[in-house]
Structure 1
Amino acid sequence: MNERYDWLLMILLGVVIALLIGYRLNRWLMSPSPDRLPGIPINERIPDHPAIGMLEEEGYDVVGGKVKINLSFETGQRPIHSRLFVDYVASDDRGELYMVKVSRDRMPVDWTGSGIRDRLMPFLLLYPECAGLLYIDMNEQVIHRLGLDWSDEEWIGNDEYNS
């Protein structure tokens, strides 16, 4: 009779160990990659600009000034260097951080899906832990709040494909 309990105990112990290994493996696979950027950098020097007043009127608190993000691309022949700039970092009343871009006359945003993707999506991909991006259009005096959402749906704009 004792052999029967020994086998039962060994099977139970094996199941518990397998579950523990599966849990730890899943946790390891779902953890953020260490080579990702470690959160948005905050520059404590905040130069005065009319955009700051607009942000404060909308309930945002500017917590950081201009941040330069250095990029390096390996092309196979030689590295190519570039950079992105975030004009400000702001937080809302819940403490969520937003990157802020101020409009430039020489670099207008085409407010279409592809225009936003090409011009503003790199910022949202660099720091996915941010709540989004605030784009301030100084000409129209408006703040656009952008977030990124992944979708598996196909978007077809032409009605002949919808049949």
Structure 2
Amino acid sequence: MSRFGDWLLMLTAAGVMVWWLIRWFDRWLHEPPGAKLRRLAQAGGVEPDEAVSLLQEHGYEVLSGKHRVPLGVVVDEGPVQPTRLYFDYLASKDDKYYLVKLERARQPMDWTASGLRERLLVYALLFPDCEGLIVANPKDKLLRTVRFQLEDGDE
């Protein structure tokens, strides 16, 4: 009789695992756009500083701050090399989300199209639900919004 009990226990455990996987996949499949950003907004606190004040003066609500996105890089089937991507704030205005990067003196922004692409495109690709990226310069009290769009390939 113990063999029947073992099989019953194994089938029950397998059934629960299959049910859990189907439920997880269904939840992932029907996740609304922007859900990743809403989770980020709930994750971090905001410490008031001059950058937060600047964003609020321009009508943005700062939702969270100082985010680190862990990434792994694999080269030629080698080991995974960990790295991180940082952005300073997540803000919203008119029900649209924006990632905020602070312009720092030791890493000035190259305001050419290729410079912006090299520096900021990765954020737009990681968070496609964002309306754009805000580059804030608290020292000069300046905000700039950067958006990327696909162009026709007729060159």
Query: TM-score, with normalisation over the residues of structure 1?
Result: 0.67
Query: TM-score, with normalisation over the residues of structure 2?
Result: 0.70
**Residue 103 of structure 2 contacts residue 135 of structure 2 at CA under 8 Å; is this kept in 1?**
yes
Correspondence 1:64 to 2:64: yes
* DSSP-derived class of the 2:59 partner: coil
Partner Cα distance (1:80, 1:152) in 2: 35
Q: Which amino acid in 2 is paired with 1:53?
A: S
Partner Cα distance (2:84, 2:95) in 1: 27
Go from structure 1 to structure 2 and tell me whether the alpha carbon gap of 1:62 and 1:138 turns closer, same or farther (over 3 Å shift): same
* 1:9-45 CA-partner distances (Å, limit 9, x unpaired): xxxxxxxxxxxxxxxxxxxxxxx8x9xx962322331
Correspondence 1:39 to 2:47: no
CA RMSD across the alignment: 2.0
Partner Cα distance (2:104, 2:92) in 1: 22
Flag structure 1 segments of 5+ consecutive residues without an equivalent: 1-31, 156-163
Structure 1 residue 153 displacement after superposition: 4.2
Aligned residues: 120
Structure 1 residue 138 displacement after superposition: 2.8
* 1:27-82 CA-partner distances (Å, limit 9, x unpaired): xxxxx8x9xx9623223311222011111111111111111100101112221211
* DSSP-derived class of the 1:149 partner: coil
Go from structure 1 to structure 2 and tell me whether the alpha carbon gap of 1:38 and 1:71 turns closer, same or farther (over 3 Å shift): farther
**Which has the larger helix fraction?**
2
Q: Which amino acid in 2 is paired with 1:139?
A: K
Match of 1:111 in 2: 111
* DSSP-derived class of the 1:87 partner: strand
Flag structure 2 segments of 5+ consecutive residues without an equivalent: 1-28
Q: Which amino acid in 2 is paired with 1:88?
A: Y
* 1:73-97 CA-partner distances (Å, limit 9, x unpaired): 11122212111111111110x2111
Match of 2:148 in 1: 148
Tell me the percent identity: 30
**Residue 44 of structure 2 contacts residue 67 of structure 2 at CA under 8 Å; is this kept in 1?**
no
Go from structure 1 to structure 2 and tell me whether the alpha carbon gap of 1:62 and 1:124 turns closer, same or farther (over 3 Å shift): same
**Larger Rg belongs to:** 1
Structure 1 residue 112 displacement after superposition: 0.3
Go from structure 1 to structure 2 and tell me whether the alpha carbon gap of 1:48 and 1:137 turns closer, same or farther (over 3 Å shift): same
Partner Cα distance (1:115, 1:139) in 2: 21
* DSSP-derived class of the 2:109 partner: coil
Match of 1:10 in 2: none
Match of 2:5 in 1: none
Moved runs in structure 1, 4+ residues, more than 4 A?
A: none
Partner Cα distance (1:58, 1:153) in 2: 36
Counterpart mapping for 1:1-163 below 5 A: 39-40=36-37, 41-42=40-41, 43-75=43-75, 76-92=77-93, 94-154=94-154
